[in-house]
Amino acid sequence: MDNIRLILIAALVGVLYLIYAAWMQDYGQASLPVVSGSAAVPASADVPAATPALPTVGTSAAPLSGTVDSAPIIVETDVLKAEISLRGGTIQNLWLLRYVQRAETPDAKFQLLKAETPNFFIVQSGLLSAPGQELPTHESLFTATRGAYRLGVGDDELIVELTWKSETGIEVIKRYRFERGQYVVRVTQEVRNLSDQPIVARRYAQLQRTDLHDPNESNFISTYTGGVYYGPESKYKKQAFKDMTKQALDVTITDGWIAMIQHYFMAAWIPPVGQLQHFYTKVVNDPAGESRYIIGKYSEPMVIAAGASHAFVDRLFVGPKLQNTLASIAPGLELTVDYGWLTIIAQPIFWLLEKLHALFGNWGWAIIVLTILIKLAFYKLSEASYKSMAGMRKLAPRMKAIKDRYGDDKERFNQAVMELYQKEKINPLGGCLPILVQIPVFIALYWVLLESVELRHAPFIFWLTNLTAPDPYYVLPLVMGVSMFVQQKLSPPPPDPIQEKIIMTLPVVFTIFFAFFPAGLVLYWTVNNLLSIAQQWYITNKIEQEDARKK
């Protein structure tokens, strides 16, 4: 029983290590084998070869900037700035105007889509035709009447039109509809069959990116970057880059969506409700041999009679993973805020944190008040734990005497300790179980603070101008380390001097460990420690006073 405290500390260290190991195993940036550009793409049997063509050298497989046939179309709304290439109508660059790349450079807006490495990420769409027919793909050249669009004061929407015509009399108008305050873009591909023959067409849309690590993100904290998809039957599924390399995705889903997600932000294609869609992945190589990963979807074939027209409609989401809006855009889209297996606990915690932020207007104070509320919710459990610790602290001299008496005879030592516990009516596990019950809540809150874009670059007070970056002066980690040291002094020391020395080094280890963590996470842990010290001191002092009165 003398190992209980060491086991608890080891369990805490183990939990933190497992969290970090899980990041690196599931979300870390691994070096993946290169796959040939001839990777197969799923195709429907009734329209052979009507599948998205693999990018070829010199067009979409190469960086688009500077290689397109003419300057891109510039589009700017109140929340987005985009560059649309006339080559396929590809959105090759896109900035989020309400978010900055780095807190230190507020004038440099965050770039989500980028047509150059590192972090190559583009949005493509097109049409697939039956053999012997021609429709524009993401490699076809469109024309436009304007080179720039800007959402005017008082305007609620902005429509960008690109036109493609074939020699056989087929015309395709690709429209992008941007709306004020929205990160959802309505993409329409209208096919006008002005020929004398029916045509078979279906639309496709895909997201293409590399797996390189974002240089603006911390190397210590790695979150998932890769493909995901959702369907009512399959629910939320990850399609990591390594999965794309091993086996191509080939599923048919109605009322689902596909996306490429990263820390805080994502791009997603959302088809119309009730339409059957085929989801696929593939891996291609650029001229430099770098792997690029694609997740896409294509629709069922549509026959368009001579003289008729048909409009294919999709929605494209490009923006931050704001939790209060994602669910309203598409079912399951809120799951891209990845809390893992603790989602059922993490979502209510975020809801409460958001309400506190609305009340206080500061995420730092919201974190502090939330920590206090969680501490109050577990007060009775913590009280049982601290009472058990106080009882064991009182027995520490007698435990040491038993240790001196029996030396290395562990069997007799443990027997004597058990007899002592029974005589004093102390349950040594009383200090363990309450802590174990709280661990899932602590980890869930940890993920909430890590995953929520709402906290990105949020300031607190004084020098803490960014809660998602490490404390620049290491004040919070040092305070946290001191609080751990004080907690150890209030807790019963282990009878084994070797264990005591190991435990004494933990505040130093954790201080170094937390020095690289975002300040918001360290703030939570520090406040929790300070509250624990106050509660433990109060309970210990109360028990000592009661014992003094009995004497």
Q: What is the predicted pLDDT for the residue at 325?
A: 92
pLDDT at position 442 is 78
Per-residue pLDDT of 142-155, as tens digits, reads 999 999 999 999 89
Question: Averaged over 183-207, what is the pLDDT?
Answer: 95
pLDDT score, position 503: 73
**In sequence order, what E strands does 142-249 have?**
148-150, 157-165, 170-179, 184-193, 199-209, 226-231, 235-239
496-506: average pLDDT: 71
Say if residue 235's pLDDT is above 70. Answer: yes
- On the question of pLDDT at 7 being above 60, the answer is no
Question: Which of 345-359, 393-407, 515-529 reaches the highest mean pLDDT?
Answer: 345-359
Read off the pLDDT of each residue in 124-153 and give the average, rounded to a whole number: 93
Where in the sequence of the chain do the CATH 2.70.98.90 domains occur? 73-338
Q: How far apart are CA 484 and CA 510, in angstroms?
A: 9
Residue 516 has pLDDT above 70, yes or no: yes
Q: Which residue has the higher pLDDT, 501 or 99?
A: 99
At the topology level of CATH, where does 73-338 sit?
Beta-galactosidase; Chain A, domain 5 (2.70.98)
Please, which residues have CB within 8 angstroms of residue 214's CB and are 6 or more apart in sequence?
118, 119, 225, 262, 263
412 pLDDT band (50/70/90 cuts)?
confident
How does the average pLDDT of the chain come out, rounded? 81
Percent of the chain scored above 70 by pLDDT? 76
> d(Cα 518, Cα 499) in Å, to the nearest integer?
31
Average pLDDT for 69-77 = 87
Percent of the residues in the chain that have a pLDDT greater than 90, as a whole number: 47
pLDDT tier for residue 339 given thresholds of 50, 70 and 90: confident
Q: Which residue has the higher pLDDT, 389 or 479?
A: 479
pLDDT for position 65: 39
Of 142, 138, 164, which is closest to residue 284 (Cα–Cα)? 138
Distant-in-sequence, close-in-space partners of 120: CB < 8 Å, separation ≥ 6: 63, 114, 208, 209, 210, 212, 292
Tell me, what's the pLDDT at 380? Answer: 77
Q: Which of 11-20, 164-173, 178-187, 313-322 has the lowest mean pLDDT?
A: 11-20
Most confident of 204-218, 310-324, 394-408: 310-324
- At 293, the pLDDT band (50, 70, 90 cuts) reads very high
What integer pLDDT is reported at residue 514 of this predicted model? 86
Average pLDDT rounded to a whole number, residues 311-328: 94
**pLDDT (mean) for 287-311:** 91
CA-CA-CA-CA torsion sign (113, 117, 118, 121): positive
Which residue reads 């002066």 in tokens? 473
Between residues 210 and 10, the one the model is more confident about: 210
Q: What is the mean pLDDT of residues 69-92?
A: 93
- Round to whole Å and give the CA distance between 78 and 151: 7
Cβ contact 170:194 at 8 Å: yes
State yes or no: pLDDT of 522 exceeds 80.
Answer: yes
Select the highest-mean-pLDDT range: 21-30, 130-139, 179-188. 179-188
Q: What is the pLDDT of residue 396?
A: 67
pLDDT of 265 strictly over 80: yes
Instruction: Check residue 88 and give its pLDDT.
Output: 94
More confident residue, 227 or 430: 227
- The arithmetic mean of pLDDT across residues 308-321, rounded, is 96
What's the CA gap between 123 and 115, in Å, rounded?
Answer: 10
Is the per-residue pLDDT at 433 higher than 80?
Answer: no
Quick one: pLDDT band at residue 216, thresholds 50, 70, 90?
Answer: low
Q: Using CA atoms, how far apart are residues 161 and 144, in angstroms rounded to an integer?
A: 7
**pLDDT tens-place string over residues 9-66:** 444 555 454 444 444 443 333 332 332 332 333 333 233 333 444 333 333 433 343 3
Mean pLDDT of 135-141: 95
